[in-house]
């Protein structure tokens, strides 16, 4: 989603701004642009589409200046075209924005009535004109920005240039993240740690209501009440280099193959290997008496929550609800005062999940976030946070973050079960043993990628498909369908296998591809009954199962395609059955020639509602 970069230096900044934008590409965007101040005049260059088009324009249009802002835009107000790309400018002001101005219509109408001419369809341009009108009324640059913030409603992070202040870069935070990174005789602003990590070894996140005035050697931050404040400067300790794709064609492929390694890393943070026992850190509240657990998330993170429900129910014996954040926050269901609410998010910035977190905190819930980005808003806003240690995930489709989320959720469920007496030490050891087997089991599946490639060739022309499973395999099926939809643009639906006969069975016809996930567990026979229903309607089944499952299927095996995985248990099954689905989606997308790492319309970090 939209990304901001800004820089004030002693040197020319335009090429660094473009480099900075490249570090924001992974968030998803449809246009980009940069603006600088030179001789107290604002200049800008913008382009629709990929950053290479902006770079091409910059070859013929030089953009001098030691101060500038840049932006990658993910359209909210106005179609993805150059006139809507940021920065938005007047003769006195340039603004880049991440977020949404909710009272845009009202403000726009007022400005139009007052004679303002708009050049774009964006909400951001409104802010640009409001700041300009305050400057025209005689206010200072800082006071004009402060006054404008009082006029707008919504979520935002802004980078602002004021032509009459050619040595000052302004940053504003109101719900969307923005941070400052400082280096030798230059200071930066950026949307996230990654965008700043190439230039600075430290990062200072603004808080909501803050306005920062940044010069090349120093900066000042003023809070909501206009007082000068210090905000914590953190070192960028973790390597946030995007590392090269190496031998891989796409980040998604690299991230799928990294899973054995990153899962092992995640496990090493939560398991004491010497004793095969958990070492999940203690949380700032008593987990032994919690009355219920609510898991809140969006997208793949929500599916991770649905899988984890099984673990929390079985290991802790407390009631568990799983909620889609965008629905939950407006439904506002009653919450038990002794409840624990867990927020799952790769980015830690997803607007709906973050809003649900703030809502739950206001209700007195104990909160914990399970995040990949350690200094994210969710991390900072929850009572406690557990990192998943997946490392930077660049592909828009979540793969390694999803499986690492499952690792942490399983560890947390076991920990609560131990604390409230639902599990004994031997059971803990058994589950830990199973967790420790996951990297090996996943590697075994990765070794069989050639089989998936063949399968993908057979399926390369599909236009619609079903993914079916029971129990934990139902959310695994939904996650498989989401992966295929996201990167290959093929319609796919994940459904509970037993529920198919209540509707989707009408879709079955000759050759319709149906993926069935059937580990040989207690639900195996029931799943095979559903498999029979599918075969009876001539659909084309791809069965994911283990040796035992294949043996028990008898003569049916001649009528279907199969992909065999290792035998699994309640802990390992979701991991082992997720891997083939990730690979199938990837290889079908590859054959279709889609933009695997940055699929159309999608953003990595969804910071608007
Ligand atoms: O950063 P989050 O985990 O909060 O993101 C939630 C969803 O936007 C995300 O999982 C999305 O569904 C992915 N593109 C799935 O591959």
Sheet containing 292-297, strands listed edge to edge, beginning at the edge strand earlier in sequence: 319-324, 292-297, 340-345, 366-371, 384-387
> Do 518 and 561 share a domain, yes or no?
yes
Domain interval for residue 419: 243-443
Residue 243 is predicted with a pLDDT of 52
Q: Are 25 and 18 in contact (CB under 8 A)?
A: no
> Which percentage of the chain shows pLDDT scores above 90?
81
> Which percentage of the chain shows pLDDT scores above 70?
99
List pLDDT tens digits, range 133-152.
Answer: 999 999 999 999 999 999 99
Angle at 263 between CA 260 and CA 267, to 5 degrees: 135
- Outline where DSSP puts E strands in 191-237: 202-205, 211-214, 219-222, 228-229, 234-235
Pocket test for ligand 1, best of 350, 481, 586, 605 (most atoms within 8 A of CB): 350
Say how many C-beta atoms besides its own lie within 10 A of residue 38's C-beta: 18
Here the CATH number for the domain that contains residue 61 is 3.60.20.10
Length of the chain: 609
Pairing of strands 277-278, 271-272: antiparallel
> Do 209 and 271 share a domain, yes or no?
no
List pLDDT tens digits, range 476-512.
Answer: 999 999 999 999 999 999 999 999 999 989 999 999 9
Here the CATH number for the domain that contains residue 270 is 3.40.50.10490
Report which of 211, 460, 262 is spatially closest to residue 372, judged by C-alpha positions.
262
Residue with the nearest Cα to atom 8 of ligand 1? Answer: 299
| 247 vs 552 pLDDT, higher one | 552
**Which of 209, 237, 265 lies at the terminal end of a domain, its last residue?**
237
For residue 422 the two structure tokens come to: 């639902």
pLDDT band at 228 (very low <50, low <70, confident <90, very high): very high
One-character DSSP codes across 561-587: EEEE-----TTTHHHHHHHHHHHHHHH
The mean pLDDT of the chain is 93
pLDDT band at 586 (very low <50, low <70, confident <90, very high): very high
Residue 449 is predicted with a pLDDT of 93
Report which of 143, 172, 33, 176 is spatially closest to residue 605, judged by C-alpha positions.
176
Report which of 431, 388, 400, 387 is spatially closest to residue 413, judged by C-alpha positions.
431
Residue 412 is predicted with a pLDDT of 98
- The Cα 399–Cα 396 span in angstroms is 9
Say how many C-beta atoms besides its own lie within 10 A of residue 167's C-beta: 12
Residue with the nearest Cα to atom 4 of ligand 1? Answer: 345
602 domain residue, yes or no:
no
Q: Report the largest interatomic distance among the alpha carbons of the chain, rounded to a whole angstrom.
A: 85
Which residues does the annotation mark as catalytic? 2, 604
Report the run of H or E that residue 589 belongs to, with start and end. helix 573-592
φ, ψ (nearest 5 deg) of residue 294: -120, 130
> Do 434 and 498 share a domain, yes or no?
no
Residue 329 is predicted with a pLDDT of 85
**Which of 191, 221, 237 lies at the terminal end of a domain, its last residue?**
237
Please tell me the distance between residue 346's alpha carbon and the centre of ligand 1 in angstroms.
7
> Do 303 and 170 share a domain, yes or no?
no
Residue 137 is predicted with a pLDDT of 97
605 domain residue, yes or no:
no
Is 345 near ligand 1, meaning CB less than 6 Å away? yes
Residue 575 is predicted with a pLDDT of 98
Report the run of H or E that residue 301 belongs to, with start and end. helix 299-316
> Do 382 and 326 share a domain, yes or no?
yes
**Which of 188, 204, 237 lies at the terminal end of a domain, its last residue?**
237
> Do 176 and 274 share a domain, yes or no?
no
600 domain residue, yes or no:
no
Report which of 156, 133, 151 is spatially closest to residue 211, judged by C-alpha positions.
156
Is 278 near ligand 1, meaning CB less than 6 Å away? no
Q: What contacts 24+ positions apart, CB below 8 Å, involve 418-422?
A: 418/278, 419/287, 419/288, 420/287, 420/288, 420/289, 420/290, 420/316, 420/317, 420/318, 421/288, 422/315, 422/316, 422/317
> Do 433 and 322 share a domain, yes or no?
yes
Is 346 near ligand 1, meaning CB less than 6 Å away? yes
pLDDT value at 28 more than 60: yes
496 domain residue, yes or no:
yes
Number of separate domains in the chain:
3
The average pLDDT across 59-70 equals: 95
Residue 16 is predicted with a pLDDT of 96
List pLDDT tens digits, range 274-329.
Answer: 888 999 999 999 999 999 999 999 999 999 999 999 999 999 999 999 999 999 98
List pLDDT tens digits, range 77-87.
Answer: 888 899 999 99
pLDDT value at 245 more than 80: no
- The Cα 145–Cα 214 span in angstroms is 14
List pLDDT tens digits, range 163-176.
Answer: 999 999 999 999 88
Please tell me the distance between residue 198's alpha carbon and the centre of ligand 1 in angstroms.
25
Please tell me the distance between residue 60's alpha carbon and the centre of ligand 1 in angstroms.
38
Is 518 near ligand 1, meaning CB less than 6 Å away? no
CB-neighbour burial class of residue 469 (10 A; exposed 0-12, middle 13-18, buried 19+):
buried
> Do 81 and 226 share a domain, yes or no?
yes
CB-neighbour burial class of residue 265 (10 A; exposed 0-12, middle 13-18, buried 19+):
middle
Distances (CA, A) of 594 to 72, 428, 461, 560: 21, 44, 13, 28
List pLDDT tens digits, range 93-108.
Answer: 999 999 889 899 999 9
- The pTM of this model reads 0.79
Please tell me the distance between residue 542's alpha carbon and the centre of ligand 1 in angstroms.
26
| 504 vs 35 pLDDT, higher one | 35
- The Cα 118–Cα 128 span in angstroms is 10
Residue 237 is predicted with a pLDDT of 58
For residue 44 the two structure tokens come to: 């800008």
> Do 46 and 172 share a domain, yes or no?
yes
Say how many C-beta atoms besides its own lie within 10 A of residue 82's C-beta: 17
Residue 216 is predicted with a pLDDT of 96
Which residues fall within 8 angstroms of residue 148, CB to CB, at 6 or more apart? Answer: 127, 130, 131, 134
pLDDT value at 517 more than 50: yes
609 domain residue, yes or no:
no
288 domain residue, yes or no:
yes
The average pLDDT across 562-576 equals: 97
List pLDDT tens digits, range 520-566.
Answer: 999 999 999 999 999 999 999 999 999 999 999 988 888 999 999 99
Pocket test for ligand 1, best of 250, 301, 400, 488 (most atoms within 8 A of CB): 301
For residue 476 the two structure tokens come to: 């695994």
Say how many C-beta atoms besides its own lie within 10 A of residue 154's C-beta: 18
| 154 vs 11 pLDDT, higher one | 11
Choice among 58-62, 64-68, 75-79, 534-538 with the minimum mean pLDDT: 75-79
- The Cα 447–Cα 382 span in angstroms is 39
Integer distance in angstroms from the first to the last C-alpha of the chain? Answer: 12
> Do 231 and 256 share a domain, yes or no?
no
Report which of 415, 433, 520 is spatially closest to residue 473, judged by C-alpha positions.
520
Q: Are 252 and 245 in contact (CB under 8 A)?
A: no
Report which of 463, 528, 538, 464 is spatially closest to residue 498, judged by C-alpha positions.
528
> Do 228 and 306 share a domain, yes or no?
no
570 domain residue, yes or no:
yes
pLDDT value at 406 more than 90: yes
271 domain residue, yes or no:
yes
pLDDT value at 239 more than 50: no
> Do 154 and 297 share a domain, yes or no?
no
Pocket test for ligand 1, best of 304, 346, 585 (most atoms within 8 A of CB): 346
Report which of 597, 505, 575, 594 is spatially closest to residue 303, judged by C-alpha positions.
575
């Amino acid at each position: 989603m939209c990304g901001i970069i800004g820089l004030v230096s002693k040197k020319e900044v335009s090429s660094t701004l473009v480099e900075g934008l490249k570090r924001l590409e992974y968030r998803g965007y449809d246009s980009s642009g940069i603006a600088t101040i030179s001789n107290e005049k604002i200049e800008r260059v913008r382009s629709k589409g990929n950053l290479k088009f902006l770079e091409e324009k910059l070859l013929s249009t030089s953009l001098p200046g030691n101060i500038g802002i840049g932006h990658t835009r993910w359209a909210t107000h106005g179609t993805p075209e150059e006139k809507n790309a940021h920065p938005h400018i007047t003769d006195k002001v340039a603004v880049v924005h991440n977020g949404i101005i909710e009272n845009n219509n009202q403000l726009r109408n007022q400005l139009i009535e007052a004679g303002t001419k708009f050049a774009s369809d964006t909400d951001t341009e409104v802010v640009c004109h409001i700041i300009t009108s305050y400057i025209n009324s005689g206010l200072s640059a800082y006071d004009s920005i402060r006054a404008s913030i009082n006029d707008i409603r919504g979520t935002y992070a802004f980078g602002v240039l004021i032509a009459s202040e050619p040595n000052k870069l302004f940053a504003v935070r109101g719900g969307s993240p923005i941070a400052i990174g400082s280096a030798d005789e230059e200071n930066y602003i950026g949307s996230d740690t990654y965008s700043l990590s190439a230039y600075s070894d430290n990062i200072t996140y603004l808080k909501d209501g803050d306005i920062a005035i940044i010069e090349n050697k120093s900066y000042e931050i003023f809070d909501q009440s206009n007082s000068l404040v210090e905000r914590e400067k953190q070192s960028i300790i973790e390597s946030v280099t995007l590392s090269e794709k190496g031998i891989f064609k796409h980040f998604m492929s690299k991230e799928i193959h990294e899973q054995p390694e990153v899962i092992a890393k995640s496990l090493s943070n939560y398991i004491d290997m010497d004793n095969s026992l958990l070492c999940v850190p203690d949380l700032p509240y008593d987990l032994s008496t919690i009355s219920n657990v609510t898991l809140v998330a969006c997208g793949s993170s929500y599916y991770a929550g649905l899988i984890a429900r099984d673990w929390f129910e079985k290991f802790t014996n407390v009631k568990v609800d799983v909620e889609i954040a965008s629905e939950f926050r407006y439904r506002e269901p009653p919450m038990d005062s002794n409840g624990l609410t867990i927020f799952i998010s790769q980015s830690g910035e997803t607007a709906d999940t973050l809003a649900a977190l703030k809502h739950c905190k206001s209700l007195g819930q104990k909160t914990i976030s399970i995040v990949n980005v350690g200094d994210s808003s969710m991390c900072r806003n929850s009572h406690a946070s557990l990192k998943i240690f997946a490392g930077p995930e660049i592909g828009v489709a979540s793969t390694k973050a999803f499986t690492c989320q499952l690792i942490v959720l399983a560890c947390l469920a076991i920990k609560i079960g131990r604390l409230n007496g639902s599990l004994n030490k031997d059971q803990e050891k058994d589950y830990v043993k199973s967790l420790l087997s996951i990297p090996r089991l996943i590697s075994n599946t990765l070794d069989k990628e050639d089989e998936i490639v063949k399968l993908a060739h057979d399926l390369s022309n599909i236009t619609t498909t079903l993914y079916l499973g029971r129990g934990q395999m139902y959310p695994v099926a939904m996650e498989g369908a989401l992966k295929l939809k996201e990167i290959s643009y093929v319609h796919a639906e994940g459904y509970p296998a037993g529920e198919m006969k209540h509707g989707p069975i009408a879709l079955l016809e000759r050759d319709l591809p149906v993926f069935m996930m059937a580990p040989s567990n207690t639900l195996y026979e029931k799943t095979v009954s559903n498999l029979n229903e599918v075969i009876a309607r001539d659909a084309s089944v791809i069965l994911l199962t283990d040796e035992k499952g294949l043996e028990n299927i008898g003569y049916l095996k001649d009528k279907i395609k199969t992909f065999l995985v290792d035998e699994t248990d309640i802990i390992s099954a979701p991991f082992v059955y997720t891997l083939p689905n990730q690979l199938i989606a990837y290889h079908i997308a590859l054959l279709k020639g889609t933009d695997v790492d940055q699929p159309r319309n999608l953003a990595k970090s969804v910071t608007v509602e």
